[in-house]
Structure 1
Amino acid sequence: MKELLILQSGTEPPPPAFAKRVIAKELSQRLIAPGGLLSLIRCFIESYEIDTGFEWRKIDMICRIIAARHGCSTEIEYLTNICSQLHEILSLNNTHYLAAAVACILSLHDKFPQAHPVVSLIKEVFQAFDYNYLTTNFNLPGTVILAPQEVEQRLNVLHACVCTTKLDWPVQLLVPNLYMIYTIGTKCTKNDDLKIKSRVIVLKCLEKLSKDKLYEMVKLFLFGKDQPGTAGIVAEEYDAGVALKSVADCGDYAKEESVIYFMELFKNATDDALVTNIFSIALKLLINLKDKRHKKGNKEILLSEDDPVLMDEVDQQYAVILQLLSEISTSPKIVQSLKTNPMIVSDFIEYVILKQNSDRDDECITIALVLLNTILTNSDKIDAKFTNLIPVLRRMGENDSSLNSILCKEALSLLSLETPQKKDTPCEKAISDIFDELLPVRAHGIIELTKLIDTGDAETISKKHYIFCIFQEQLKDTDSYIYLSAVNGLASLCTHCTEDVLHILCKEFLQELNPADRSTQTSERINRDAELRMKIGDVIVKVTKRLGEMAIVHKTILLNTMLCAVSDPDPLIRTSALSNLAEIALVLHYRIGSIIYEVLYCIWSIIETDKAIECRRAAVMVISSLIKGLGKDTLVQLKDNLLPIYRTLKNLYRDNNEDTTVRLHAQIALEELNDIVNQFLFPELKMEKQIFVLDEPQDVFK
């Protein structure tokens, strides 16, 4: 066939007319022969390699050739022949063959939209994952509808359709498949190629949807089909891949998996319009769910204390949307979109502040106020609709007990300016650097913000809650440099947001790997995580020293954190916790009250049972520090525990097989205890005599 095409397309000299007619007749006969279409495609695409991309002119030529009827057969017979050949080509896992075959199918669909063979082939290709079609035709529970190989082959066909960028493929044909393709993507964890292809198909289709249809599709992705307890189709992953299976009961939709996969889709989205629409849709869903929760009322007040509080469907959806917004709202894509077009969230702000009960501190109002301040700060001109918010903002700002009063006052100050000007202050520049795409720039922004806090910059201190949220968000970064910079930034905020900072730092210090995760992590990764946690422990001690006398107010959370860390499976963390415990007790001047007995019991257990020598050294050192710090109060504070402590220290000191460092700490503790007892039993008598030159002065306080 290739030689015949060359003869027919010759130009110097051109073939005679009768030769063209004979060659065209022969080509038509070969095209409708079995395997003829595949031979035609090979003639066009054998001349280029797979890495050079598709040659669209050649694919377009193939589409024009098959769109014209060839041979003496009728139109239906010709289309039946071509469609059967296209069906065979679709079973081949060749990227170029699939691209050409899909282009031919769409070309036939445009020219013969009512032909039965074309309609049947279109349904077979573009209803491969149609949920309604599959549930109607395969309703026997327990059977596998599509095996992993079939799922992969059908996804390859659809992927070839959406990836042929010069092909005008109709999105309405692919929309019914998106729900099952999204479900396959959420379940796929072993086949990266399949996961990438399903993600590309979904994103390409979402980019072409209108905003109303996109709203319905996002809602379907996040919350699933509203069919609890009914038969349906689910995706299950096996070693061979992901398969589709018919079940009698679909069960609860895996919302946690769906929102995680949706955030992954969002991170890979490159279309700015799609990113903006998804953000506005998430805000719209938040409003709708909030209205539903308000109408539902609080039914928990009728429950007794022993009854469990269960989240219904609306509450679960509300939690999913909050989780999604918390992740995507801080992404550089959304920040950039708000900078270029801040009015995309104006309707959300106006609705929440004006129509909601603004006297309450709920999530929607806080989000709306933060977005409002962002818009006012980055806009050269204030929109007229925002001036309607001034009376409500003033009323909310008068309530000093409200957590949103600071945000309201900041918004009022920005609205009062006739021509707000952007200030390139060090604080604003540092915050802008934190949201940069480059890692070194982000780290530099965190460090600069920390320096501004240490120097007492007025603007930075006024935004302490906002900066606290920024540092808290940076703790999720996997890079250790960013993570430790954020930890140091939180430590600098300790004098301004003491309780919040200590809560976050103690939570990070107590983060422990699950046994299942520990078994999959390498020893290098485990040691790196332990090193990070020990550095956080040092930061906690530094924060405690900064607080000074005020640290006594937070002694409960500090001591409980270190006592909990003493039971950590990692010996390095146990050693760090014991060392930090001694430092914190020193800062507190050993005024720890009855907790001292828990500390002693913990130390006693470490000395008696712990196999790690570092932990035993630290435990004996803590006892030595306690005895030295308590001084004469040791005899009063320790009471009945003093004798067991003395015997334990004496046994450790006399044991020649014991570690030398442990014996040294025990010796120091015994010497301190000996000095205290000597001072108590044999106090120094002051040999003083008062001599008066004149009369003895009268003591007015007698």
Structure 2
Amino acid sequence: GPGAAPPPSADTLSVGQDRAVGRALRAAVGLGLVPYLPPGVGQRPGPPAPPPAPPASRGARLHAATAALAELTEHPALGGPLLARHLGLLLAGLCLLGCRPHRGVCFFQGVSEAERARCREALRHILDRVYQPLAVRELLVLQGRPKQVPKTKPALVRAPAWLRRLCGQLLSERLMRPNGVQAVVRGIMEGTGAGGTGAEAAAVDWRKCDTVAKILASCPQQCLSLEDYYRLVCPQILDLLHIQDKLTARQFQRVATTTLLTMAKEHPQLAEKHLLQPMLAPLLRCSETAGTGWCLTLLPVLLLGSLQSVLGVVFSLYSFAKQNVSYLRSPCQEILLWFLEKSEREVSLAVLEGFAGLNSSVRALHPRCRFCVGSEGGATVAVEEAISDEDEALYQKVSSEQCHVENLVELLSHCQKSGLAGDFFIRCLKALTQVAAEDEAASNSAVVPGGSLLELEQYHAEQRRKLLVLQLVATLCESVSDTVFTDVAQVEEFVAATLQRACVSPARGPGAAAEVQTLTMAMGLVAAMLGGAVQLQSSDFAVLKRLVPLLEELTRTYPEPLTQELAADLRIAICTHGAFSPGTVGAAADGVLGKKLGKGAQSPAGIPGEAPSPRGGRTPPRHGRSSPSPAPAGLRELLVSAYDPQPPSRAAALRHLSSLIMQRDPEALRLQEKLLQVFLENVQHEDAFVYLSAIQGVALLSSEYPERILPVLLARYRDPAQGMEDTAAAITRMKLGEVLMRVTQALGDMVFKYREPLVQAFLRGARDPDSALRASSLSNLGELCQRLGFQLGSIVQEVTSCLTAVAKTDPKAEVRRAAVHVVVLLLRGLSEKATKVLQDVLLDLYRLLKHVVVAEPDGATVLHAQLALEELDTALEKKIVVLP
């Protein structure tokens, strides 16, 4: 009929015929080849071979059988089974007849030179047309082990030297062919797990990977030039990194990386030219300057030096991946952290400064290039025209610098244990001190920049660098804590840099807040060490004594009296090796370490109540200060300290109040309304230590008394204090949103009782005029949906209507992106239940996502929408499958 399969060709074998052919081939090989092969040539483990034929007729009979089987390989139906099952023995016969040296005339009686030449030709022909990994594997088997394993049973005779040399030559020819590298790798690795269920087991076999790498890194004798061999083989080695098959990709990548390391060790110049530069070429093309070659002799220097040329582009790619959904974030972070940890400290610090734009040690991304969202979470590079609008160009430049600084600080958070973060912080503080000194000198001289264009450009570049230093220090002060310092010497260097800056230029101007915060943290660190947080030795006091001149100068010159008093007391404590420690030193230590806050509280610097010792472990206080639970008078003192003008003292008081709530102190719980008022007023404070401490206190109170506290918080979130500026009100509401999210986390399953007022509050925040608050509210809404297990009940339509309106009409891309992200969370969290829970709004969500994919200009938002559509498609497919 018309739907029937086409008839098979005349050469196609049936199942019975295939079995008959297999038996015939086994008989032909077993009777025509095996008895005539000498020991060590094609010998396989198994039953003993038949008795050998008489020497006089062995060569002629072997030639007759081999020639017949070689001719049979050309048959379309019989050649496949023969080559698949008996290739090794056929190759052994051809090698023996065509290539064995004339050491005795007995074996070659009846075989002419012409017949031997035809055997050599047949050998080459079969090796060229057969599946190359199979040819490689059979040649390796034919070549045999380099040494006989004593425990092999039955014992195998080692292959003769002429056969081992011949197989090595034939293997080299396989390697030199197009795609020969992959054929050799597959020939060795296949059958040991590659492409099968044992791939994971074989992937960890480093010895096999090392063996393959040594084979690939060694130039064969047939190749006349080492550089010609590298030119031929290196592109194929790089191709191994792009294997798509997941089962074999790990093995191939390990072989490729091991080969690269071996080649770089043995011939660094050629490896640089043919391996590293082609591998880094896409990143080099994106940098501002073209790459240049260099001669290196040490492997670590070679790899680090090659990588340094593209680090600027990798960091830009890391910043792009941080802002978008991309799998490239982790690889980029691993590369950057590996370089920073393996390089010399000065090189790492210079590279970090290059990332921040303070020097040109790294090649930045070309100004005309930018990264765009690619397929499957990747990235592509697009070349843009220069922006003609100067204001827009300036905005893009400032935004890019801010993003780079924030991502740099995020990267540094992973480098705290090595001390790199602390060293970089100190370097930035020294740069800020230099900036302050230059500004002081410039204000005294009142020099106006010269009139030439070059001088004006240099002046603007210097001003830009000063602003970058100020921005970097401010961001570091907000984001890192005193735990970045890993030893006493590093702490001393940090404090010295801070004190020098305070002596040169007391806190004023645009960076005053960051400078005051840094100064209080620095002096509190010294006070904490003197107060017993660290077991100080005499050598440590010798280091700390370097601070005495600076503290003395600060006592004379700093305008703030409390800071002068603390500096004088610290100088006394250092000079007496802590034997005399005035009360101000203890208060400053409590402000940084929160030593009186109890075991569960956290200090303003983000570390536990007792600071970890730089030498490892924790040590008890040397002076044995203790603070029992306060009486009502002590509680009143804490309430007064909660309004202290010094941020450390204020934060310490707030943390102490929080610890009293955790301990369910009766007096503190009786004054819960007063404490709530204190915490809410401090939430509005600009200092991060203060408002984070206040947020913690409000969250603790709310978890203890949700019925009383949550309505107050929701009312404040909806309507902040009257008379407050719009920007300040939005910031306060975002902080209250953080409080609400902490409360929902603490409530656990009880959060369902407050589901509707919480959702309503965040929906209202999503319509606020401030774009940052809108995005924050949507983010909180998504997190709340996760806390609720996506059980929204009757308000699901209101939520989806709000998300639809925001995603379609909001003018800010980050807000639209947040709305679509909430849709992704809903669909992903509900999974198979999405079609049931969202059945009334599913069509609206589908139309919304299609609209975003078609009309949204923001690439990240489009990617979120595509992910949501995939989740929706998966849910619908599962729904269709289960339908009867």
- TM-score normalized with structure 1 length: 0.55
Distance 1:494 1:532, change over 3 A: closer
- Aligned partner of 1:234 in structure 2 is 369
- Aligned partner of 1:104 in structure 2 is 259
Aligned-pair CA distance for 1:466:
0.6
Q: Deviations over 1:667-690 (max 9, x none)?
A: xxxxxxxxxxxxxxxxxxxxxxxx
- Aligned partner of 2:344 in structure 1 is 210
Q: CA RMSD in A?
A: 5.7
- Kindly indicate whether the alpha-carbon contact (under 8 Å) linking 2:507 and 2:516 is maintained by their aligned counterparts in 1: no
1:108-507 superposed matches below 5 A: 108-115=263-270, 119-130=273-284, 136=290, 170-188=303-321, 189-223=323-357, 232-238=367-373, 240=375, 241-249=378-386, 251=393, 252=397, 254-269=400-415, 271-295=417-441, 297=443, 313-314=464-465, 316-330=467-481, 333-334=483-484, 337=486, 342-349=491-498, 351-352=500-501, 356-358=504-506, 362=512, 363-364=514-515, 367-368=518-519, 370-379=521-530, 380=536, 381=538, 382-383=541-542, 384-396=545-557, 399=559, 401=560, 404-405=563-564, 407-412=566-571, 414-415=573-574, 417-420=576-579, 428-430=595-597, 434-435=601-602, 454=635, 456=637, 465-469=647-651
1:78 aligns with 2:229: yes
SS at match of 1:232: coil
- Kindly indicate whether the alpha-carbon contact (under 8 Å) linking 2:280 and 2:310 is maintained by their aligned counterparts in 1: yes
Q: Percent identity?
A: 13
How far, CA to CA, are the matches of 1:295 and 1:52 in structure 2?
A: 68
How far, CA to CA, are the matches of 1:233 and 1:316 in structure 2?
A: 24
How far, CA to CA, are the matches of 1:209 and 1:81 in structure 2?
A: 32
Counterpart of 2:266, as a letter, is K
- Aligned partner of 2:3 in structure 1 is none
Counterpart of 1:535, as a letter, is L
Distance 1:77 1:387, change over 3 A: closer
Bigger Cα displacement from structure 2, 293-302 vs 37-46: 293-302
Q: Deviations over 1:11-55 (max 9, x none)?
A: 244523324323322322222222232233332485353488644
Counterpart of 1:534, as a letter, is V
- Kindly indicate whether the alpha-carbon contact (under 8 Å) linking 2:638 and 2:653 is maintained by their aligned counterparts in 1: no
How far, CA to CA, are the matches of 2:518 and 2:672 in structure 1?
A: 24
How far, CA to CA, are the matches of 1:340 and 1:14 in structure 2?
A: 68
- Aligned partner of 1:685 in structure 2 is none
How far, CA to CA, are the matches of 1:346 and 1:504 in structure 2?
A: 23
- Kindly indicate whether the alpha-carbon contact (under 8 Å) linking 1:491 and 1:501 is maintained by their aligned counterparts in 2: no
Aligned-pair CA distance for 1:492:
5.0
- Kindly indicate whether the alpha-carbon contact (under 8 Å) linking 2:304 and 2:339 is maintained by their aligned counterparts in 1: yes
Q: Deviations over 1:521-540 (max 9, x none)?
A: xxxxxxx9x9868338789x
Structure 1 unaligned residues grouped into runs of 5+: 138-165, 303-309, 443-447, 475-480, 510-527, 542-556, 577-702
Distance 1:49 1:295, change over 3 A: farther
Q: Deviations over 1:307-364 (max 9, x none)?
A: xxx9962453144213322234326x426x257953342542463355x145979554
Which of 711, 716, 723 aligns to 1:560? It is 723
- Kindly indicate whether the alpha-carbon contact (under 8 Å) linking 2:412 and 2:421 is maintained by their aligned counterparts in 1: yes
Counterpart of 1:183, as a letter, is S
Distance 1:69 1:498, change over 3 A: closer
Distance 1:390 1:285, change over 3 A: closer
Aligned-pair CA distance for 1:85:
1.9
Distance 1:232 1:298, change over 3 A: farther
- Kindly indicate whether the alpha-carbon contact (under 8 Å) linking 1:493 and 1:501 is maintained by their aligned counterparts in 2: no
1:541-690 superposed matches below 5 A: 559-560=722-723
SS at match of 1:102: helix
Distance 1:501 1:168, change over 3 A: closer
- Kindly indicate whether the alpha-carbon contact (under 8 Å) linking 1:28 and 1:70 is maintained by their aligned counterparts in 2: yes
Counterpart of 1:5, as a letter, is L
Aligned-pair CA distance for 1:259:
1.9
How far, CA to CA, are the matches of 2:723 and 2:580 in structure 1?
A: 48
How far, CA to CA, are the matches of 1:52 and 1:402 in structure 2?
A: 71
Counterpart of 1:232, as a letter, is P
Structure 2 unaligned residues grouped into runs of 5+: 1-135, 292-298, 388-392, 449-459, 531-535, 610-626, 657-661, 663-667, 693-705, 738-755, 762-884
How far, CA to CA, are the matches of 1:67 and 1:197 in structure 2?
A: 27
Aligned-pair CA distance for 1:257:
1.1
SS at match of 1:243: strand
Distance 1:299 1:321, change over 3 A: farther
How far, CA to CA, are the matches of 1:491 and 1:14 in structure 2?
A: 93
- Kindly indicate whether the alpha-carbon contact (under 8 Å) linking 2:551 and 2:571 is maintained by their aligned counterparts in 1: yes
- Kindly indicate whether the alpha-carbon contact (under 8 Å) linking 2:374 and 2:380 is maintained by their aligned counterparts in 1: no
- Kindly indicate whether the alpha-carbon contact (under 8 Å) linking 1:186 and 1:261 is maintained by their aligned counterparts in 2: yes
- Kindly indicate whether the alpha-carbon contact (under 8 Å) linking 2:492 and 2:547 is maintained by their aligned counterparts in 1: no
How far, CA to CA, are the matches of 2:338 and 2:182 in structure 1?
A: 28
Counterpart of 2:158, as a letter, is P
Aligned-pair CA distance for 1:490:
12
Distance 1:365 1:211, change over 3 A: farther
Aligned-pair CA distance for 1:372:
3.6
How far, CA to CA, are the matches of 1:489 and 1:409 in structure 2?
A: 39
- Kindly indicate whether the alpha-carbon contact (under 8 Å) linking 1:508 and 1:533 is maintained by their aligned counterparts in 2: no
SS at match of 1:272: coil
Aligned-pair CA distance for 1:392:
1.3
How far, CA to CA, are the matches of 2:722 and 2:446 in structure 1?
A: 35
How far, CA to CA, are the matches of 1:470 and 1:247 in structure 2?
A: 52
- Aligned partner of 1:62 in structure 2 is 212
- Kindly indicate whether the alpha-carbon contact (under 8 Å) linking 1:222 and 1:258 is maintained by their aligned counterparts in 2: yes
How far, CA to CA, are the matches of 1:449 and 1:463 in structure 2?
A: 25
Counterpart of 1:245, as a letter, is A
Distance 1:389 1:279, change over 3 A: closer
Distance 1:427 1:129, change over 3 A: closer
How far, CA to CA, are the matches of 1:472 and 1:320 in structure 2?
A: 28
- Kindly indicate whether the alpha-carbon contact (under 8 Å) linking 1:135 and 1:233 is maintained by their aligned counterparts in 2: no
Aligned-pair CA distance for 1:407:
4.0
- Kindly indicate whether the alpha-carbon contact (under 8 Å) linking 1:236 and 1:245 is maintained by their aligned counterparts in 2: yes
Which of 14, 32, 35 aligns to 2:179? It is 35
